[in-house]
A and B are shown apart, each in its own frame.
Chain A
Amino acid sequence: MVSRIAGRFQELAAQGRKALIPYVVAGDPGVAVTVPLMHALVEAGADIIELGVPFSDPMSEGPTIQLAHERALANKVRLRDALDMVRAFREQDSTTPVLLMGYANPVERMGYAAFADAATAAGVDALLTVDIPPEEVAGVNAELHRVGMDNIFLIAPTTPDARIATITGQASGFIYYVALKGVTGAGHLDTADVAAHLARIRETTDLPLAVGFGIKDAASARAVAEVAEGVVVGSALVQRLAESAAAGASNEQTIAHAVELLSEIRRGIDGASF
């Protein structure tokens, strides 16, 4: 069976389009925002939703997404609640893939088998844990594969060639290329450097390649879409949500502000030539 993620990339390839993958943290800025926000992002052109699972110690995040995790935890949103949100999202959307992105410990605590069962029952398609590299992945991978979920691996600018092959050999769904050394929301993108790294990765795999970290607007999204199959937008979107909520906007207005940014980015991606 083709997974929802693989299927989505196949459809996009057939249409000559690139995937837009927005990241938001479950429960940020408010508990009631997340599910309608997910639907609105799909409306605005999201192809895959990446839903962040709040964690007390998000070590790979820059300040913007750290604060989103803190807000979500203050709203008492945990892994179980994130799964409930996906279940609610699935009531109206059975086609858009949902990827959970987070850290090892909440998944460890729930137990790999229990997580795989609960996540697949809720309609989650894949898991990306920042701090479970291939060396530590055997346990969780066995359970994800048992239920037919994809495990999304990261490849970094510092990943040596031999290791790239090891990673792509275990991966399914797509490969997430981290465009810069650093935390989320930092730095600026060097598109030529990204293109060179993606070329190295393509020597080892036919899987679609998505790029995240450092994509802030339509222009940077367009540049990445010219060389990758997917574009991940995180901090810029989370920042938009935070500013809107902090200014006292209603949930509807907050969602509208996020949609505005995502629509611009969608237009950027669709304007890419490749």
Chain B
Amino acid sequence: MTTEIDKTLFDTVPDAEGRFGVYGGKFVAETLMSALAELESLYRKLSNDPEFQRELDEDLAHYVGRPSPLYFARRWSEQIGGARIYLKREDLNHTGAHKVNNTIGQALLAKHMGKRRVIAETGAGQHGVATATIAARLGLECQVFMGEEDVRRQALNVYRMKLLGAEVIPVTSGSKTLKDAMNEAMRDWVTNVDDTFYIIGTVAGPHPYPEIVRDFQCVIGREARAQSLEQTGRLPDALVACVGGGSNAIGLFHPFLKDDGVAMYGVEAGGHGVATGEHAAPLTAGTPGVLHGNRTYLMQDEDGQILHTHSVSAGLDYPGVGPEHSWLKDIGRVQYVVADDKEALDAFHTLTRVEGIMPALESSHALAYAGKLAAGMSPDQHIVVNLSGRGDKDIHTVAEIDGIQF
């Protein structure tokens, strides 16, 4: 299926302009262009600097707790009766999700640039918590922009950020969710560009962010590749990850892109169902456009206005997606599929009950699809699912849906 793709292509993106095919680029106001250039040149220098890499690796080992385990979900796999399912346990990272892999890296960049303040956008709050955490450790001032709707849905994470010394700024414009938080973070950055580093949480935004975030998240796929070889003697037959902005997915997929036999599935949020229009699945049901600094697939109307999205998981509730995913879709290397709210909730309960692991609702979308995929495969095959975050933060959402009040 993937053999016709020229593998040298994967080494060519992004190009010097930050493009992945026609996607990506730098669509921002002129005020930010020099900051992006400065970031890019520092990143080029530091990414080849053994001292920076050592600093990063030490933090990942002793602060984050890497490598994260690759866990064989034996009981769940046996229940399904198809392929063996392995879970890449990003939920066991410090702060409970994959987000910290990236925030540590970007915070080190901020430190090297001499910035005293970091800002971030957050949806579910995981990236905000990861940013507040690393800001506390490095003694940086931290402000996190979060849609008012998400502040309500993710009260626990809001309080966590406050405990860590960050200021959470509720965003009341537009749809009051992740995209609006990102607008507001960009507005802050353009105003305070001299002393502020914007820690973007996903593989979107203007170049060089999609590349930087990808590189920092690739630790997931590098570890999973080595762990799969060690535990099973071979590479996985398939990889499955949820896709909102797409950072956990690109982190898992990227180190396997040249491995022909490894199929990849990015699972978007189907919300109430793609047919209803109430979802967050731009790769499945959107069209290319420009938002938040890059050209990518978007949920937009015929006039180019960005549409409101819906997903039970705040972290997937975003109308765009990282530009590299748009490119991977077009060249056919990754299949993008959906799991709806109900399927994700079912998977949340199943994994909790069968394996004693409570997944984030974001990750539950990947689990839902992986369950279906495994059922059609044989027990001598195996799948790696990125369990990108833990579900504690979602207990209120699940309880509310189940009609339970605390």
Contacts and interface: CB of A to CB of B under 8 A. Distances in A.
Interface centre among A54, A58, A135 (most CB of B within 10 A): A135
Nearest to B290: A104
Contact of A56 (B187, B302, B306): B306
Contacts of A131: 27-29, 290, 293
B312 interface: no
Contacts of B32: 158
B378 interface: no
A159 B37 CA distance: 11
For chain B, what secondary structure do more than half of its interface residues adopt (helix, strand, loop), or is it mixed? mixed
For chain A, what secondary structure do more than half of its interface residues adopt (helix, strand, loop), or is it mixed? loop
User: Range of interface residues on chain B?
Assistant: 35 or more
B5 to A, nearest CB: 26
A73 B303 CA distance: 11
A153 B292 CA distance: 19
Interface in A113-138: 130-133, 135-136
Given A105-B291, A133-B30, A136-B25, A158 B193 contact: yes
Contacts of B364: none
B392 interface: no
A187 B34 CA distance: 21
Contact of A66 (B17, B29, B173, B305): B173
Interface string B297-323: 010101111100000000000000000
A56 B31 contact: no
A163 B173 contact: no
Interface residues of A, number: 46
A136 B33 CA distance: 12
A60 B28 CA distance: 9
Contacts of B183: 57-59
B114 interface: no
B29 A78 contact: no
Interface string A47-91: 000000011111111110010001001000011100000000000
Contacts of A60: 29, 187, 190
B23 to A, nearest CB: 12
A183 B189 CA distance: 10
Nearest to B35: A158
B30 A155 contact: yes
Contact of B30 (A58, A80, A159, A182): A159
Given A60-B187, A135-B17, A109 B303 contact: yes
A235 to B, nearest CB: 14
Nearest to A132: B27
B208 to A, nearest CB: 13
B365 interface: no
A133 B174 contact: no
B305 A106 contact: yes
B31 A178 contact: yes
Nearest to B302: A109
B304 A106 contact: yes
A103 B17 CA distance: 20
Contacts of A181: 31, 190-194
Contact of A156 (B31, B173, B192, B302): B31
Contacts of A73: 305
Contacts of B81: none
Nearest to B184: A59
B25 A156 contact: no
B291 A62 contact: no
B153 to A, nearest CB: 21
A33 B312 CA distance: 40
Nearest to A155: B30
B191 A182 contact: yes
Contact of A59 (B187, B194, B287): B187
A131 B194 CA distance: 20
B273 interface: no
A108 interface: yes
A185 to B, nearest CB: 11
A54 B29 CA distance: 17
B34 A160 contact: yes
A107 interface: yes
A110 B31 contact: no
B31 A80 contact: no
Contact of B26 (A56, A103, A135): A135
Given A59-B187, A60-B187, A183-B187, A154 B305 contact: no
A156 B29 contact: yes
Contact of B306 (A57, A159, A187): A57
B186 interface: yes
A160 B35 CA distance: 11
Contacts of A61: 187
B305 A136 contact: no
Contact of B29 (A63, A70, A80, A130): A130
Contacts of B287: 109
A245 interface: no
B289 interface: yes
A132 B29 CA distance: 7
Interface of B: 17, 25-35, 173-174, 179-180, 183, 186-187, 190-194, 287-293, 295, 298, 300, 302-306
Q: Which 10 A-B pairs have the closest CB atoms?
A: A109-B304, A106-B304, A156-B31, A182-B191, A78-B303, A104-B290, A154-B30, A105-B304, A156-B30, A56-B305
Given A109-B287, A156-B33, 5 more contacts: A54-B305, A131-B293, A155-B30, A181-B194, A183-B187
5 contacts: A59-B187, A78-B303, A78-B304, A109-B300, A131-B293
